[in-house]
Amino acid sequence: MFEIIKSVLLLLLGFVLLIKGADFFVDGSSSVAKRLKVPSIIIGLTIVAMGTSLPECAVSVTASISNNNALAISNAVGSNLFNLLVVCGCCSLFAPLSIKRDTLLKEFPLSILCAVLLLALGFFGNQLGTVDGIIFLLLFIGYIVWMIFSALKARKNTEQLQLENYKILPVWKCVLFIIGGGIAIKFGGDFVVDGASYIAQSFGLSQNLIGLTIVALGTSLPELVTSIVAARKKEVDMALGNVIGSNIFNILFVLGTAAAISPMAFVTENLIDIIILIAVSLIIYLFSWTGGKIKRSEGIIMLLLYAGFSVYICIR
pLDDT given for residue 163 in this prediction: 41
Which has the closest alpha carbon to 250: 24, 84, 102, 129?
84
N-terminal to C-terminal alpha carbon distance within the chain: 31
Which has the closest alpha carbon to 166: 37, 304, 309?
37
Q: How far apart are CA 247 and CA 111, in angstroms?
A: 6
Look up the pTM and report it. 0.76
pLDDT given for residue 164 in this prediction: 41
pLDDT given for residue 40 in this prediction: 64
Q: How far apart are CA 59 and CA 258, in angstroms?
A: 10
133: left (phi over 0), alpha (psi -120 to 50) or beta: alpha
Q: Would you give per-residue pLDDT tens digits along the chain (316 residues)?
A: 778 888 888 878 887 887 788 778 777 877 877 777 766 667 767 777 777 676 777 777 766 776 766 667 887 888 899 989 998 898 888 877 777 777 788 889 999 999 999 999 888 888 888 899 999 999 999 988 887 777 677 666 554 444 444 467 788 888 898 899 888 877 876 787 677 767 777 877 665 676 667 777 777 777 787 778 777 776 666 667 778 888 998 899 989 988 888 888 887 888 999 999 999 999 999 988 887 788 889 999 999 999 999 888 878 7
pLDDT given for residue 134 in this prediction: 94
Which has the closest alpha carbon to 276: 299, 298, 306?
306
pLDDT given for residue 165 in this prediction: 43
Beta pairing partners, 293: 98
Q: How far apart are CA 313 and CA 316, in angstroms?
A: 5
